[in-house]
Amino acid sequence: MAQVQTVTGPIEAEELGTTLIHEHLRNADEAVHNQWPQAGAAKEEPPHEVAPGEDYDIAVREAKAVVDLGIKTIGEPTAMFLGRDVNFMRRVSEETGLQVVPCTGIYTYDYLPQFFFNRDPDQIAELFVADIEQGIQGTDIRAAFIKCAADEPGVNENIEKIHRAAARASVKTGAPIMAHSRPASNTGPRQIEIFLEEGVEPSKIQMAHTGDTDDLDYIEGLLEKGVWIGLDRYGLDIFLPYEKRQATAKALLERGYADRIFLSADSVATTDWFPSNVIEQLIASGAANEWTIRIVPERVLPELRESGMTDRQERTMMVDNAVHWLTG
């Protein structure tokens, strides 16, 4: 069987085990932290803002909690602009035993740094390929997949360029793509179209955040292309309430799509995107509700079992799909 790269080295794909495909051990603005290392002050329960250094303890605590719940591996889609630090991931993995599958790529909805703005997709793809073939940030840790994003601004010129770069790196290396999408802006179809134009196999494409809609016509429109979908933001009620996410999952299972679906939460052990008081408001208002790395094993899976999900469907979604997406 093929191998999969993790932050502690390659493993046999069959060793992946129960996998949450989309969870972040840390989310930090790398430019701000480079310029103002002291930025961020309060420390509270996740996902509250934390001071430098305290993010590690919280990531370890959350990783341990999820290992205790039977999770063996996470896909860690923290790319450029989300604060990717593979040494941080490696330390958390070594301390907790949680296997962490890292990525390359760039997370942006519109803006590109001058370095990328002034380069073409092939030149950008070279950087992604280097992460996949040689190693990330001067380490021997190699990226297992490629991340890109489209959101409210749509698939504009900059976003198309990054999608083409991701696609070319995928075609060159065989690494799969995880594309952050926004169903409310109908980004999915155009994102897939670009990948297919570039010659990416549909089986290498995962459309993250497809579960932010319960529009089954939209979802099946993507599935008809042969891609994977992420029902991967459980707890982020601000985009779609939990009950609607579960109803969508059940409907898709009934329609026979277990072999196309990933269940995850897109959790962040810590984030500095918002000041603490805003995060508190988001939680108090119900916009984020039980939004942690634990929600899928702790709540989502037991409820789906209750409502008729078979052992086979669960194993397909939580174990086999990661193997197939990551190894082609």
Residues making contact with Zn ion (CB under 5 A): 77, 266
Give 82's contacts (C-beta < 8 A, 6+ positions apart).
24, 27, 28, 30, 107
Q: Which residues contact 54 (CB under 8 A, 6 or more apart)?
A: 43, 270
Q: Give 77 or 105: the residue with its C-beta nearer to Zn ion.
A: 77
Query: At closest approach, how far in Å is the CB of 38 from Zn ion?
Result: 26
Q: Let me know: does 302 contact 205? Beta carbons within 8 Å.
A: no
Query: Quick one: CA torsion of 229, 234, 238, 239, rounded to 10 degrees?
Result: 10
How far is residue 321's CA from residue 231's CA, in Å, rounded to a whole number?
13
Of 288 and 309, the one with the shorter C-beta distance to Zn ion is: 288
Nearest to Zn ion of 75, 121 (CB atom) = 75
From the list 175, 296, 173, 277, the residue with the least C-alpha distance to 230 is 296
CA 210 – CA 225 distance, rounded (Å): 14
Distances (CA, A) of 251 to 68, 161, 264: 29, 35, 17
* Distances in whole angstroms, Cα of residue 57 to Cα of each of 240, 244, 304: 30, 33, 32
- What kind and span of H or E run contains 322? helix 321-327
| Residue (264 or 313) nearer to Zn ion, CB | 264
- Taking the complex as a whole, the smallest distance from the CB of residue 150 to Zn ion amounts, in Å, to 13
CB of 26 or CB of 204, closer to Zn ion: 26
Q: How far is the CB of 233 from Zn ion (least distance, A)?
A: 8
State whether residue 207 is helix, strand or coil: strand
Give least dist CB 20 to Zn ion, A: 11
Q: Which is nearer to Zn ion, 196 or 238 (CB)?
A: 238
CB of 86 to Zn ion, least distance (A): 16
The residue whose two tokens read 């891609």 is 227
DSSP annotation of 29 reads -
Pairing of strands 261-263, 145-149: unpaired
Toward Zn ion, which CB reaches closer, 49 or 266? 266
CB of 185 to Zn ion, least distance (A): 17
Q: How far is the CB of 299 from Zn ion (least distance, A)?
A: 19
- Tell me the residue number closest to Zn ion, measured at CB: 266
Least distance from Zn ion to the Cβ atom of residue 23, Å: 8
Closer to Zn ion at the Cβ: 21 or 125?
A: 21
Rounded-to-integer distance, Cα 181 and Cα 211, Å: 10
Q: Which amino acid is at 61?
A: R
State the DSSP H helix or E strand holding residue 93, giving kind and residue range, or none if neither: helix 86-96
Collapsed DSSP state (helix, strand, coil) of residue 24: strand
Token code pair at residue 247 = 């109803």
Q: Identify which of residues 110 and 126 has a Cβ nearer to Zn ion in the complex.
A: 110
CB of 269 vs Zn ion, minimal distance in Å:
12
